[in-house]
Amino acid sequence: MQHLVDEFSKLWNGWEIRMLILLSLFLQYILIIFGSRRKYIARTWIQILVWLAYMSADWVATVALGILARNSGDFKNNYSKSNHLLQAFWAPFLLLHLGGPGTITAYSLADNNLWLRHFLGLLVQVGVAFYVIVRSWSNNAITFLAIPVFITGIIKYGERTWVLRSSSTKQFRDSLLSDPNPGPDYANYVEAFESTIVEPDSLDEARVPQPEINPGVDYLRLADNLFNRFQYLFADLILGTNERIDCNKIIPEKSPEDAFKPIAVELGFMYDVLYTKATISYSQKGIILRFISFFSAICVLVAFCLIIDKHALPLVDIIITYLLIIGALVLEVYGFILLIISDWTKLWLSKNKNPLANLIRAVTSPFEPLFTKRARWSGSMAQYNLISGCLKPAKCLAVQKLFGIQETLEKYHYRTWKTIDVRFQKSICEQLREKGNQIQCPQFDIKENFKPLMAQRGDYVLANKGILEDFKWCTTSVEFDHSLLLWHIATDLYYHDIADDFDRNKEFYQISKGLSDYMLYLLVFCPSMLPKGIGEIRYRDTCAEARRFFKQRMSTSQKIKEACKALLQVNTNVPMEKIKGDRSQSVLFYGCKLAKQLKSLERQDEVWEMISQVWVEMLTYAASRCQWKEHGQQLTKGGELLTHVCLLMAHIGLSDQFQIQKDYINRLDSSVLDQVFRNKCFLCFLGCTLCTKHLV
């Protein structure tokens, strides 16, 4: 037995560093291939794969560096010395791996805020790699080949640390703030005003000219223009009234599909800024550093092939060294290809006509159809249905109970996906444009009427139908999560009870059903994206009551249609508050009551249209109240419809992150100006000018 242990220990000591080196290289390939794909693939498997690779990559490289440091200089003969020199040559490659590929620098927003930890890691790991090289230093050519790789490793690791710092919450916000501006010289203006007449135009120094957006420009340049304006939202900064005015001239004129298209590009840019090396890769310095890395890898590969005497080295170590060098070269080439076909490069090509741009355009033009059709976000929304999940609970194994993950696995078991087609986009755009037109009316008072307009969550649609008073109990009189749950239940029950009338209402039913299941998915899986409340408690209590009901009334059948009919047979005329009180937050039978009320409406042919509009209004209400930090976090999961809707609302002007004041001095009536100057109310006039200064 001891002999086997000794043999295994000897085998492990000989292969541990080799296995870790190969594993580290393999993880780099996973990260560069799948790191950016999570931007447009909304599936659990890619989240798990990228998470495992991201969390393991640094750990594996760090452990490997530690082992190399322990073994450095530990040799007994010339063969052992040559072997250790070659393995010491691997140390700077581990710095390259710690720098990571350009497609992913952070797994989540929290990683950006931990940039100081990565900076400390940079100092420590560079020191360890330097220690390994110095301890193994000799006149052998292998030692000198390690120098360019070591420099490249410092560059890569430094790039990653710098990008993490740039994308951190504070630094990102600070980078968007303009330089301090003291405004017009008040004392000089007062003296000038007292000595002579000051023309109103001379006081208009607070006005900041804004570039005009041409509606005929291609979607990439439009997306870039919008991104440069609306990236301030992700830093929780306020936009000027120019943004509300200019963008509202463009977006409403576009078709629903064209309105959503630049938003996907904008959010793609935002993802690149927050989670990749885009901020440095697409800069002049980044291009120079990339060429340095590429030519360094080429030179090392050629030198290793021609100069190094491989007869005195182990074949396995030679193969691993070739894999590391070629692997570094492949990572550079693959990263360069991704750079060339990116939207950033296409945007740069559309703005430049120099020889370099013409050359890149000529090389990439044959592949243009492939680039144009590639996905920029998942284009789908998750679906989760309460009744289906309660009627057919997933099988629970003992191991699931042991680790306490049965509830989580059950939720993911019933999660499905639905494509967001033009019908959904059209329904959303129509309602948003209607509200956008309201705020453009001269009679609309932004200060007084904007907040009530944004607070509508179904009551606006019901009021237009003239039935708001009958439905207040399920909209404005209850919390949002309460309203969401009972409308979700009612939508399902109403569908399964009148399934014969779907042919003429098919479009509105599918919109209603899709948004209903999507909003419940947000409540169950992403509660932080919805307004604060006790939605999770209500959902759990409702599920518990539904399971109990189905267990008692439906012991054999598991058909959803029969379950819905059984629920509708329950008498809901008795006030539920008298029976349940505050002991349970379940809204199951409130949903039954709402479904019956919908059935009792006179014009049944319009009910599905009304329900779809209610769900769109609830979607926009939730989007306007979700923090931008949550929107930014969801960019790593294929993108959320809620994020796209929120940005579309901002483009139309439906956001509370705009200035409320009227814009600038030239909006003041000329008679008001005359009165101001006649009364020498200069302080008031100057204040009116400065208070509307563009904040960003």
In tens, the pLDDT along 9-38 reads 666 777 889 999 999 999 999 999 999 899
Closest among 327, 352, 325, 339 to 291, alpha carbons compared: 339
pLDDT higher than 50, residue 680 = no
pLDDT higher than 90, residue 83 = no
pLDDT higher than 80, residue 3 = no
Instruction: Please check whether residue 133 is in contact with residue 90, taking contact to mean a CB–CB distance below 8 angstroms.
Output: no
Q: Higher pLDDT residue, 195 or 148?
A: 148
pLDDT computed for residue 94 by the predictor? 95
Two structure tokens written together for 285: 């310095």
Crossing angle (nearest 10°) for helices 2-34 and 315-340: 20
CA separation for the pair 227, 626 (Å, rounded): 19
Taking residues 307-328, report their average pLDDT: 88
Residue-wise pLDDT for 162-216, tens only, equals 999 999 999 999 888 877 777 777 777 667 666 654 454 444 444 444 445 444 4
Least-confidence region, from 176-180, 334-338, 343-347: 176-180
pLDDT computed for residue 396 by the predictor? 58
Burial 303-328 (b: 16+ CB within 10 A, else e): bbeeebeeeebbeebeebbebbbebb
Taking residues 462-483, report their average pLDDT: 91
Taking residues 474-497, report their average pLDDT: 92
Looking at the chain, the whole-number percentage of residues with pLDDT higher than 90 is: 45
> Pseudo-torsion of CA 455, 459, 463, 467, nearest 10°?
-160
Helix (H, G, I), strand (E, B) or coil at 658: strand
Taking residues 289-302, report their average pLDDT: 93
Q: Using 50, 70 and 90 to split pLDDT, how confident is the model at 597?
A: very high
Sort 202 into a burial class: Cβ within 10 Å, 0-12 / 13-18 / 19+.
exposed
Crossing angle (nearest 10°) for helices 44-71 and 2-34: 130
Q: Using 50, 70 and 90 to split pLDDT, how confident is the model at 561?
A: confident
Highest mean pLDDT among 104-118, 306-320, 572-586, 590-604: 104-118
Report residue 503: phi and psi, to 5°. Answer: -60, -40
Taking residues 298-310, report their average pLDDT: 88
Sort 42 into a burial class: Cβ within 10 Å, 0-12 / 13-18 / 19+.
buried
pLDDT higher than 50, residue 691 = no
Two structure tokens written together for 444: 């609309």
pLDDT higher than 90, residue 605 = no
Instruction: Please check whether residue 17 is in contact with residue 93, taking contact to mean a CB–CB distance below 8 angstroms.
Output: no
Q: Going by C-beta distance under 8 Å and a sequence separation of 6 or more, which residues neighbour residue 89?
A: 142, 143, 145, 146, 149, 321
Closest among 378, 106, 432 to 268, alpha carbons compared: 378
What is the DSSP code (8-state) at residue 282?
Answer: T
Largest CA distance in the chain: 105
pLDDT computed for residue 375 by the predictor? 82
Highest mean pLDDT among 235-244, 388-397, 404-413, 640-649: 640-649
Write out the DSSP string of 379-419.
-EEEE--HHHHHHSPPP--HHHHHHT-HHHHHHHHT-EEEE
Q: Output the average pLDDT for the chain.
A: 82
Instruction: Please check whether residue 165 is in contact with residue 171, taking contact to mean a CB–CB distance below 8 angstroms.
Output: yes
Q: Using 50, 70 and 90 to split pLDDT, how confident is the model at 238?
A: confident
Percent of the chain that is helix, strand, coil (3-state, to 5): 75, 0, 25
pLDDT computed for residue 666 by the predictor? 40
Burial 273-287 (b: 16+ CB within 10 A, else e): bbbbbbbbbbeeebe
Least-confidence region, from 267-281, 518-532, 559-573: 559-573
pLDDT higher than 50, residue 79 = no
Instruction: Please check whether residue 273 is in contact with residue 167, taking contact to mean a CB–CB distance below 8 angstroms.
Output: yes
pLDDT higher than 70, residue 154 = yes
pLDDT higher than 90, residue 77 = no
Sort 478 into a burial class: Cβ within 10 Å, 0-12 / 13-18 / 19+.
middle
Strands (E), 41-102: none
Instruction: Please check whether residue 236 is in contact with residue 628, taking contact to mean a CB–CB distance below 8 angstroms.
Output: yes
Highest mean pLDDT among 396-400, 439-443, 635-639, 652-656: 635-639
Q: Using 50, 70 and 90 to split pLDDT, how confident is the model at 614?
A: very high
